[in-house]
């Protein structure tokens, strides 16, 4: 049976992309794909390093005539965000993706595609595999757990690298390269709760149909977040009837704008609650009709999440009130726009995950800012709100901002080549999202870096799609950059 992508160009890139797609690779489950990379290096006699976290570095010495050229570091990450549509039964920790070609796009049926950042790995493997490419020393740095706090990049040993020019391939817009990014981390708030028996009727609400998206790149698009909507449901419905929270679950990734969540409530007056729910849904749909027009609040058969036994009593009145207060008080979304770069978000946070067990509510958010003090201030605000409501706070997985380098030979070279190849100017931008360049810059002295990639749309969602034609153009650009001598 032929491969799905075998007729796409560049063949070598899509061949490796399809092989990668057959290997499950969610964050914290990268051993199989890491071993695949090591096997690739062994088969080709490349120098390689694999650490205890499964980060991999491969090195290919310069081809004849390029020994005096500056080495080039190729960089990407091997893990992917695993999201799927409701009803899709695929176990993304154990099963590969089901690829399909739709016009100019490659998709995965019912799930995220992993173009972020499988395309970087496929690009690098195609370059390292080539017998015809003329190149300086190539050093491929492939990290793990990028999507959950860049944990691989935080600990990877780069001492064997000789290059100072780094081509990060973890961007998703052709014709635009990044030269700076925000720093961030994962904020976590935990609240101990008490439960108290209550005879009121229970009802479950499923909030779904939201677009979601990347909590950095798409946080400024005004899309709804299911956790914020569930807080609104609780506030609004409580004005119509008394209620107690039984179960609460939201999202799966702190760096993805949450697309769905579930509430189980004990309500004093079910009819009044349902009337309030209908009214709130109508209001929300009208408010978000342009940017998030398919929001639904459905009542369904009650199914308590893991960690909440069927016999669990509702939260007490006090605990229910505290949860509602936290959902109301904790900020969500864009906090400040940049004064220096037009249209750039400076500071934001996204509450992407929440779980309520029998005894504890846990909420996690991705915090981002290109200004160190602004990030610290936002974290302080979260900590204050948590403490005033009897909750604990901590931040983990912090990573630094990638600061703008005023003079960049790599940017100049890439801009000139792009202009020559495509007849237009390359756009140089900063981004409100984490890129591993910030961490690597702390390890590689005097690093000159850019981040680029082909067009990928709706990353971190099941609607993710990779442009075939853009993939080829950007690969041709990378080849030209590598082969062009200084």
427 half-sphere exposure, CB direction, 13 A CA radius: 9
**Distant-in-sequence contacts of 380-385, Cβ < 8 A, 24+ apart:** 381/331, 382/187, 382/189, 382/330, 382/331, 382/349, 385/326, 385/329, 385/330
Residue among 117, 146, 254, 436 flagged as catalytic: 146
How far is it, in rounded angstroms, from Cα 256 to Cα 217?
A: 10
310 is a catalytic site residue: no
In sequence order, which residues have a C-beta less than 8 Å from that of residue 257 and are 6 or more positions away? 210, 211, 212, 213, 214, 215, 218, 219, 223, 225, 350, 352
Q: DSSP code of 284? A: H
Helix, strand or coil, per DSSP, at residue 277: helix
Q: Which residue has the tokens 């609104």?
A: 232
Residue among 18, 19, 30, 79 flagged as catalytic = 79
Sign of CA dihedral 60, 49, 183, 120: positive
Could you write out the DSSP letters of every residue in 335-387? EEE-SSSTT-EEEEEEEEEEEE-SSEEEEEEEEEESSHHHHHHHHHHHHHHHH
Residue 460: which region, alpha, beta or left (left: phi > 0; alpha: psi -120 to 50)?
left
Residue 106, φ and ψ in degrees, nearest 5: -105, 130
CB-based contact 177:452 (threshold 8 Å): yes
CB 99 within 8 A of CB 115: no
Q: Is 79 marked active-site?
A: yes
Q: What angle do CA 60, 435, 217 make, to 5 degrees?
A: 135
Using only C-alpha atoms, the chain has a radius of gyration, in whole angstroms, of 24
Q: Are 141 and 74 in contact (CB under 8 A)?
A: yes
CA distances to 211, 212, 283, 290, 459 from 294, in Å: 8, 11, 13, 10, 19
The catalytic residue positions are 79, 146
């Amino acid at each position: 049976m032929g491969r799905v992508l075998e007729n796409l160009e560049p063949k070598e890139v899509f061949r490796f992309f399809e092989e990668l797609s057959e290997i499950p690779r969610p964050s914290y489950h990268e051993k199989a794909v890491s071993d695949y990379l090591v096997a690739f290096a062994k088969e080709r006699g490349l120098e390689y390093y694999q650490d205890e976290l499964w980060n991999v570095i491969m090195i290919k010495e310069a081809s004849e005539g390029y020994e005096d050229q500056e080495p080039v570091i190729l960089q990407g990450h091997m893990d992917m965000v695993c999201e799927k549509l409701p009803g899709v039964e695929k176990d993304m920790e154990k099963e590969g993706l089901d690829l399909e070609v739709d016009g100019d796009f490659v998709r995965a049926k019912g799930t995220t595609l992993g173009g972020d950042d499988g395309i970087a790995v496929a690009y690098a493997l195609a370059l390292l595999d080539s017998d015809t490419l003329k190149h300086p020393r190539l050093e491929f740095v492939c990290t793990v757990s990028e999507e959950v706090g860049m944990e691989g990049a935080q600990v990877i040993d780069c001492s064997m690298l000789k290059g100072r020019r780094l081509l990060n391939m973890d961007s998703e817009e052709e014709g635009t390269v990044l030269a700076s990014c925000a720093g961030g981390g994962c904020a976590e708030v935990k609240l101990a709760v008490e439960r108290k028996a209550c005879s009121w009727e229970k009802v479950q609400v499923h909030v779904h149909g939201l677009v979601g998206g990347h909590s950095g790149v798409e946080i400024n698009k005004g899309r709804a977040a299911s956790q914020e909507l569930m807080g609104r449901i609780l506030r609004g419905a409580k004005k119509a009837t008394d209620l107690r929270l039984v179960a609460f679950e939201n999202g799966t990734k702190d760096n993805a704008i949450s697309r769905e969540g579930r509430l189980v409530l004990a309500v004093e007056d079910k009819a009044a609650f349902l009337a309030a729910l209908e009214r709130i849904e109508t209001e929300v749909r009208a408010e978000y009709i342009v940017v998030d027009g398919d929001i639904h609040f459905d009542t369904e058969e009650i199914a308590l999440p893991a960690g909440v036994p069927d016999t669990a009593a509702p939260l007490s009145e006090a605990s229910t009130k505290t949860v509602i207060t936290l959902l109301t008080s904790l900020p969500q979304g864009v906090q400040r726009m940049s004064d220096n770069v037009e249209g750039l978000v400076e500071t934001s946070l996204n509450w992407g995950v929440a779980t309520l067990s029998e005894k504890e509510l846990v909420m996690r958010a991705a915090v981002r800012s290109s200004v160190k003090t602004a990030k610290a201030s936002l974290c302080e605000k979260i900590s204050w709100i948590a403490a005033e409501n009897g909750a604990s706070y901590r931040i983990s997985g912090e990573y630094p901002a990638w600061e703008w380098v005023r003079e960049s030979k790599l940017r100049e070279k890439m801009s000139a080549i792009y202009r020559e190849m495509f007849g237009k100017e390359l756009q140089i931008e900063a981004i409100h999202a984490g890129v591993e360049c910030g961490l690597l810059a702390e390890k590689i002295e005097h690093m000159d870096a850019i981040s680029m990639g082909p067009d990928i749309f709706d990353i971190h969602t099941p609607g993710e799609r990779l442009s075939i034609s853009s993939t080829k153009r950007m690969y041709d650009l990378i080849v030209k950059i590598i082969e062009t001598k200084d």
